[in-house]
Amino acid sequence: MGSYKKSFRLYLNLRNYSCLAPRRRVVVTGLGVVSPLGISSEIAWKSLLNGNSGIVALGDEYNTLPCRVAGVVPKQENSHVEKALSKSNLKSMAPATCLALLATQEALSDAKWNPNSDMDKETTGVALGMGMIDLRDVCETNAALQLGYNKVSPFFVPRILPNMAAGHVSIKYGFRGPNHSVSTACATGAHSIGDAYRFIRSGDADVMVCGGAESCISPLAIAGFCRLRALSTSFNDQPSKASRPFDKQRDGFVMGEGAAVLILEEYEHALKRNANLYAEILGYGLSGDASHITTPREDGSGAILSMTRALNDANINKQQITYINAHATSTPVGDNIETTAIKTLFKDHVSKVYVSSTKGAHGHLLGAAGNLEAIFTILACHHHVLPPTINLDNPIDDLNYVANTPLSWVSDRRVALKNSFGFGGTNATLCISSIN
């Protein structure tokens, strides 16, 4: 009994010490992007600031559908994307997994993180998510089954599992820290980053490869979203004008594809190896609308809870926020509800908060949206520049929008919120700041 009491006292002391110990800081040291705006974070960022659009017309197989545009990753012959999507790779992997591996390669190279020791590999984890499986793969496999059982690929099930991007990255690089996958619809990417941030903060890892990938543009997927009346149908002849968040002419979102990967790292760990620091993740908030399968609460309370919890987790007040990278997908209902939430939460300070949605340029990447937009928010903090919402010609209200052209971000400490919301009423908010 005496031995038990001694052990219990030791446990209490350790618990008290951990409560008093300073919280581990989490910084961003590497970025990788495969997107409709280009391949590499630098190219995509420059394209975004130049007001370019990655949304194009789809092929003949979409001619009978109400929506015939999407944000498509450029696939030039002999390019890195073309090689990533080779027949040999697609035999065992979904297209989204191939894109995730390509983005991860860039992010790790950017971070200069190539661990060789067992200890470094065991403290490096992966948190990569996917919102939807490739429906084309399911249709083609079902057609193969009609020809005979032996026509079904043995890789079919591994190809459609949402966690396989994380699995393949872990296997390729030997990372043996947390191996985690999120699938929370359009909030997937932000949740992946937030969960990775918490893994590092709590000591489960020193480095995390995190983000998401999506490649599910197909006639069935487009048809399904059209039946929900979620997609834009009025700009099939002007693809670059179709995605227009916060604009009065918006009529639905535009599907996109791609992958975006971040390397998160414990601050002291990054300093010791003289890593490049892009920004710091200060906080992470989550909430549920508990309301409807596709539509947020009209009062924006789910978004308000998510943003408030991110601020509380970051231990900052709302007056320190000067930019919000909005979820705003270009849907008539969703954009209005998010602006309501922003106005309700920030009250008088809202006039000092800039707001933009980069989806006008690249469309809605579903499970890879929050992470791509988080990278743009990180680069905004790093470069002192606010990215624009293109096609924002007639704003729905008087929020402080960054419309059509970028703006200088003049602030001693640049602190932003990144919102992501998904079907099922799932919400995530990241609080991101410049390095101070």
Which residues are designated catalytic?
186
On the CB side of 152, CA atoms within 13 Å amount to: 11
The rounded distance, in Å, linking the Cα atoms of 89 and 215 is 14
Write out 27-57 in H/E/C secondary structure: EEEEEEEEECCEECHHHHHHHHHCCCCCEEE
Task: Please give the C-alpha separations between residue 226 and each of 23, 55, 300, in angstroms, as whole numbers.
Answer: 46, 17, 25
- And the tokens for 87? 């027949």
Q: Note whether 130 and 168 are within 8 A (CB).
A: no
Q: What share of the chain is helix, strand, coil (3-state, %, to 5)?
A: 45, 20, 35
Q: Note whether 419 and 324 are within 8 A (CB).
A: yes
- Displacement of CA 65 from its chain's centroid (Å): 28
The rounded distance, in Å, linking the Cα atoms of 159 and 175 is 21
Strands (E) across 110-206 are located at 124-129, 179-180
